Amino acid sequence: MNNNLANIKKSIFFLNKNDCIAIPTETVYGLAANAYSSKAAKKIYALKKRPKNNPSIVHYSGLNQLKKDCELNKDFFILYKKFCPGPITFVLKLKKGSRISKIVTNNKKTVAVRFPKNKLTQKLLKFLNYPLAAPSANISTNISPVSAEDVKEEFGKKIKFILNDGVSKIGLESTIISLVKKPEILRYGGIEIEKINKTLKKKIKFKSKKNKILVPGQGRVHYSPHIPIRLNAKNPFEGEAYLLIKKRKLKNKNYFYLTKNKNLKEAGKKLYKMLRLIKKLKYKKISVEKIPKKGLGITINDRLNRAAK
Ligand code: TXA
Ligand code: MG
């Protein structure tokens, strides 16, 4: 605990100097900086090599600070009560007078916000008098990091500090829902779509591609080990690493289990870790067993599809 407090103090030290640091969240690690400071936010974009037109998610400890920055509505409060803190991000209208940096929002009239569940990060956020802008702590298009070691692998000495809190419990990014007009899903994520539909008592559509506003990762390679991926494979071809969700009799060294009993929560948690491992082992191709398109399976399929592009 003392150690945790010392590390939180260090985090505050760097953040107050407008530096960016990595923070743990239940979804993936984030590359965080003061969301009210353009100077700080610019460092995130430089370090990640992130295109400037891709806005970042702003992380809050609770509603008090959020109220100063965004317009809240009925659907927001229903979803907030049910799922927060947790792996859901809301796109809301910016309030006039909000202090969020234009670098963070890419000058839009909206902002993406979320309430992470990781206890250490919650504590850090409570000590600060500003929210934290934080995209995933990986170089743009790479696999998202689910541990402090992954973050280090991405940035090496270029990152000043990593607040380490072990492995992310969910391992997949947050579900993004826009509440600016009619609710729309912008990215599948750690909260199952079925649960959101049930909570709002309506079927929420996934935003269609013809809409111009940037949808996370759209049209680009994303979440990618940069190795070809073949989906819905009944068996691996020669030389392929094979990702599985059901136990097989054979014990081949190219078999990598996301789960042995179709537990999709477990599969989600292990997905990025396995992709990173397969890359490290220098496999040149990956194949993946068919994963059911329901619950977190929808998110896992989404990430594999984008990684395969
Ligand atoms: O789980 C997560 O959401 C993680 C952790 C660190 O919180 N963060 C994360 O951030 O995945 P990032 O930047 O990798 O993905 C956030 C996506 C961006 O791709 C961006 O397109 C979208 O959110 N976004 C941000 N602001 C938006 C806005 N105003 N309207 C629409 N999309 C927005
Ligand atoms: Mg990302």
pLDDT in tens, the chain (309 residues): 568 999 999 999 999 999 999 999 999 999 999 999 999 999 999 999 999 999 999 999 999 999 999 999 999 999 999 999 999 999 999 999 999 999 999 999 999 999 999 999 999 999 999 999 999 999 999 999 999 999 999 999 999 999 999 999 999 999 999 999 999 999 999 999 999 999 999 999 999 765 444 555 554 578 889 999 999 999 999 999 999 999 999 999 999 999 999 999 999 999 999 999 999 999 999 999 999 999 999 999 999 999 987
Please name which ligand lies nearest the alpha carbon of 169: 1
pTM for this predicted structure:
0.96
Q: Is the CB of 91 under 6 A from ligand 1?
A: yes
Identify the residue whose C-alpha is closest to ligand 1 atom 3: 174
Please name which ligand lies nearest the alpha carbon of 112: 1
Contact 189, 175 (CB under 8 A): yes
Cα of 56 vs centre of ligand 2, distance in Å, is 9
The CATH class that applies to domain 5-206 reads: alpha beta
Ligand 1 atom closest to the CA of 137, numbered from 1: 6
Q: Is the CB of 30 under 6 A from ligand 1?
A: yes
Considering only CA atoms, give the Rg of the chain. 19
Antiparallel, parallel or unpaired: β 255-257 and 30-34 = unpaired
Cα of 293 vs centre of ligand 2, distance in Å, is 22
pLDDT for the residue 208: 72
Q: Is the CB of 58 under 6 A from ligand 1?
A: no
Q: Among residues 55, 70, 150, which one has the least CA distance to residue 104? A: 55
Residues of the chain with CATH 3.90.870.10: 5-206
Cα of 296 vs centre of ligand 2, distance in Å, is 18
